[in-house]
Amino acid sequence: MTESAALEAASNFSELDLAPEILAAVTALGYATPTPIQRQAIPLVLAGRDLMAQAQTGTGKTAAFALPLLHRIKPYANTSTSPARHPVRALVLAPTRELAIQVHDSVVDYSRQLPLRSTVVYGGMGMDTQEAALRAGVEILVATPGRLLDHAGNRTVQLNQVQFLVLDEADRMLDMGFLPDLKRILALLPRQRQTLLFSATFSEDIIRLAQSFLHNPMRVEVARRNTAAETVEQVVHRVREDDKLDALLNVVDCRGIAQALIFTRTKISADKLGRRLQRRGVEAAVIHGDKAQLDRLTALEGFKQGKNRLLVATDIAARGLDIVELPCVFNFELPYSPEDYVHRIGRTGRAGASGLAVSLVSPEEEKLLTGVERFIQKTLAVTPVPRPAPEPPPAPVQVLAEASQSESRQDRQVGPVARRRGAEPVCALLRPPPPAPAAHDQIEPE
Ligand code: AMP
């Protein structure tokens, strides 16, 4: 059921009946008009409806739930120092730590002008700071499920006054891994509450499951199902597994890509690619679930601030991360799940910006490519890997006989590497090549 026609009418934020403090925060962030998901979801949330909202990644989902929730919680805002006056009223659950942090950052931005308290709790960090914030009392709590249960078990947080529950990336929240935790959390919440599900993708199973704990939910769907933003140019390069690294560097160089997020399927291959890039003299940060939380945050922050040009990541980074103006995403390996393809490429082309998604597909991955194309109902353009223009021939120089001899000795020493390097692009990313032993950088030692 959708009420789109009537509700899409609001063409600017002031028509959405949000509190002036919230409108001021939105204006300060430079948001001129609400996005389609915001136009549809905000009036429904303000009206107290449960929601299942499907929106493309990067379409402004966070503000779509956070702004109306802040509006509804605003009457409870107070400056009392008593924790009892600041019970948790809105709980937002997110599947990954990074997404939880990002959502919380947005909540902080949106509530800057309101005396409402919020915090974020997630695993991989000490409990102490989180406990202190919870004990002081917060109206809005963003959490990953496991850590929230830890705090609930320690009685550092009470959830019996939660009026609003948001499941961000609801499909992931409801999938096998999170379902038991989610059920335990639901058991701690009042039955009388408003529940909002936001996700880029919804399978039939998940829709059925979600309906079991939503009350007469409204469906909001602003994009065709299981599609990526239209602003993302999607290309496929067919390359042998061994040639992927060269292909990656060629594309980055030839297309003059300022920053790219590179996805691999596994933590092992993410680390491996990070090392291979390093050996080619290319700085790249690596982020995956086995990295210490601090390293993950540092890598992500460094990338967001443009310190690293390349970030290699597993699908942990595919969900929800918003990196402003990220121009390009690579699928160094296609994901096993076509849904992850949509999430991955949703990291670029966000909020209307154009983006590029490049998939390097080896013969072994043809089936995965077919799966992706079926899922997104689109045949992807296959193009040859761009090749850099050949270097101009060196200007003739007069060389002394001895120098030329020693050069040819060096040539013999380096042999095939030197020859291959000669054929390689002069890539802006590459530092001077490392000395001889780094010879076979296409062959990865295990
Ligand atoms: P989200 O889908 O919530 O991750 O948001 C994606 C990006 O869009 C974030 O950088 C938001 O700050 C930005 N954004 C959200 N709503 C708007 C809006 N109405 N106008 C412009 N940018 C927005």
Judge if 310 and 180 occupy the same domain.
Answer: no
Range of the domain at 78: 5-221
- What is the structure's pLDDT at 43? 93
pLDDT band at 401 (very low <50, low <70, confident <90, very high): very low
DSSP code for 311: E
Residue 245 falls within a domain, yes or no? yes
Q: What residue's CA is closest to ligand 1, atom 15?
A: 60
Is there an atom of ligand 1 within 6 Å of 234 CB? no
User: What's the CA-to-centroid distance between 125 and ligand 1, angstroms?
Assistant: 28
Judge if 208 and 60 occupy the same domain.
Answer: yes
Q: Choose the weakest-confidence range: 26-40, 140-154, 194-208, 224-238.
A: 224-238
User: Are 120 and 93 within 8 A, CB to CB?
Assistant: no
Nearest ligand 1 atom to the CA of 29 is 12
Burial of 136-150, coded b for 16+ CB within 10 Å and e otherwise, reads ebbbbbbbbbebbbb
Nearest ligand 1 atom to the CA of 13 is 19
- What is the structure's pLDDT at 324? 58
Residue 402 falls within a domain, yes or no? no
Q: What residue's CA is closest to ligand 1, atom 11?
A: 60
For all residues of the chain together, what is the average pLDDT?
80
pTM: 0.61
CA-nearest of 419, 428, 394, 383 to 250 is 428
pLDDT tens string 286-341:
988 777 777 777 888 888 788 888 999 988 765 545 565 678 999 999 998 888 88
- Given the DSSP bridges, would you call strands 218-221 and 51-54 parallel, antiparallel or unpaired? parallel
Is there an atom of ligand 1 within 6 Å of 351 CB? yes
Residue 171 falls within a domain, yes or no? yes
Judge if 365 and 274 occupy the same domain.
Answer: yes
Judge if 173 and 311 occupy the same domain.
Answer: no
> Would you say residue 373 has pLDDT above 50?
yes
pLDDT tens string 341-355:
888 887 777 655 678
User: What's the CA-to-centroid distance between 20 and ligand 1, angstroms?
Assistant: 19
User: Are 79 and 85 within 8 A, CB to CB?
Assistant: no
User: What's the CA-to-centroid distance between 324 and ligand 1, angstroms?
Assistant: 9
Residue 260 falls within a domain, yes or no? yes
- What is the structure's pLDDT at 411? 31
User: What's the CA-to-centroid distance between 133 and ligand 1, angstroms?
Assistant: 27
pLDDT tens string 49-72:
999 998 765 678 899 999 999 999
Domain count within the chain: 2
Residue 436 falls within a domain, yes or no? no
Mean pLDDT of 12-29: 93
Q: What residue's CA is closest to ligand 1, atom 9?
A: 60
Kindly report the length of the chain: 446
Judge if 43 and 102 occupy the same domain.
Answer: yes
User: What's the CA-to-centroid distance between 57 and ligand 1, angstroms?
Assistant: 10
User: What's the CA-to-centroid distance between 90 and ligand 1, angstroms?
Assistant: 20
User: What's the CA-to-centroid distance between 64 and ligand 1, angstroms?
Assistant: 9
User: What's the CA-to-centroid distance between 367 and ligand 1, angstroms?
Assistant: 34
Those residues whose C-beta lies under 8 Å from the C-beta of residue 375, and which sit 6 or more positions away, are 226, 338, 339, 341, 342
What sign does the CA torsion over 302, 306, 311, 317 have? positive
Is there an atom of ligand 1 within 6 Å of 72 CB? no
Residue 106 burial (10 A CB sphere; 0-12, 13-18, 19+): buried
Nearest ligand 1 atom to the CA of 58 is 2
Residue ending a domain, choose from 221, 242, 265? 221
Is there an atom of ligand 1 within 6 Å of 58 CB? yes
Judge if 124 and 253 occupy the same domain.
Answer: no
Residue 42 falls within a domain, yes or no? yes
- Residues facing residue 218 across a β-bridge: 51
Q: Choose the weakest-confidence range: 236-245, 263-272, 295-304.
A: 295-304
Judge if 277 and 205 occupy the same domain.
Answer: no
Mean pLDDT of 256-267: 91
User: What's the CA-to-centroid distance between 91 and ligand 1, angstroms?
Assistant: 20
pLDDT tens string 353-372:
678 999 999 999 999 999 99
Tell me which amino acid residue 446 is. E
Q: What CATH number did the domain enclosing 294 receive? A: 3.40.50.300
Is there an atom of ligand 1 within 6 Å of 39 CB? no
* Tokens found for residue 277: 């890039």
Nearest ligand 1 atom to the CA of 59 is 2
Is there an atom of ligand 1 within 6 Å of 34 CB? yes
User: What's the CA-to-centroid distance between 398 and ligand 1, angstroms?
Assistant: 61
What sign does the CA torsion over 110, 116, 122, 127 have? positive
Q: What residue's CA is closest to ligand 1, atom 14?
A: 60
pLDDT band at 21 (very low <50, low <70, confident <90, very high): very high
What sign does the CA torsion over 365, 367, 373, 375 have? negative
- What is the structure's pLDDT at 235? 94
Residue 424 burial (10 A CB sphere; 0-12, 13-18, 19+): middle
Residue 399 falls within a domain, yes or no? no
Judge if 190 and 281 occupy the same domain.
Answer: no
- Give the number of other Cβ atoms within 10 Å of residue 440's Cβ: 12
pLDDT tens string 417-440:
222 333 333 343 433 333 333 333
User: What's the CA-to-centroid distance between 71 and ligand 1, angstroms?
Assistant: 18
Judge if 175 and 288 occupy the same domain.
Answer: no
Is there an atom of ligand 1 within 6 Å of 60 CB? yes
Nearest ligand 1 atom to the CA of 320 is 4
Mean pLDDT of 396-410: 40
Is there an atom of ligand 1 within 6 Å of 347 CB? no
